[in-house]
C-alpha cells in the first residue's frame, strides 16, 4: 500500500502505479469532503470495448486530475491526485 497523507504523489508516480498493476484500489477525498474507495484501472484490456475511448473522443487534460475506469460502477470517473489518501 502506498500511503499518500504525508507525501503527495506526483501525477507521474500515480501513473507509474497504474502501469505496474492493472487494477488498483484507491482511497481519496472527493471535492465534497466525502472519502471514496474505488477499484479502478487504466488498462485498455480490462475496460469493456464499448467503454474504451476512441480516437475521436476529446477530453480536457488537467495536470492534477486522473481519469480512470471504475470497475465496480462500470464507468469512467476522475479524481484529484493531490486528494489521494492511499493507493494499493
Looking at residue 80, its pLDDT comes to 93
Looking at residue 61, its pLDDT comes to 75
**Sequence spans of domains, the chain:** 1-44+74-88
- Enumerate residues 6+ apart whose C-beta is below 8 A from 53: 59
**27, three cell numbers:** 482511497
Looking at residue 6, its pLDDT comes to 47
Contact (CB, 8 A) for 82 and 26: no
Q: Mean pLDDT score of the chain, rounded to an integer?
A: 87
Q: Is the pLDDT of residue 39 over 80?
A: yes
Query: Residue length, the chain?
Result: 88
Looking at residue 15, its pLDDT comes to 85
Instruction: Enter the pTM of the model.
Output: 0.82
Amino acid at each position: 500500500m502506498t500511503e499518500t497523507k504525508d507525501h503527495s504523489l506526483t501525477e507521474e508516480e500515480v501513473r507509474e502505479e497504474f502501469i505496474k498493476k492493472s487494477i488498483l484500489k484507491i482511497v481519496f477525498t472527493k471535492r465534497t469532503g466525502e472519502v471514496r474507495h474505488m477499484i479502478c484501472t487504466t488498462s485498455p484490456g480490462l475496460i469493456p470495448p464499448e467503454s474504451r475511448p476512441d480516437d475521436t473522443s476529446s477530453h480536457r487534460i488537467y495536470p492534477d486530475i486522473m481519469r480512470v475506469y471504475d470497475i465496480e460502477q462500470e464507468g469512467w470517473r476522475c479524481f484529484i491526485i493531490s486528494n489521494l489518501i492511499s493507493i494499493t
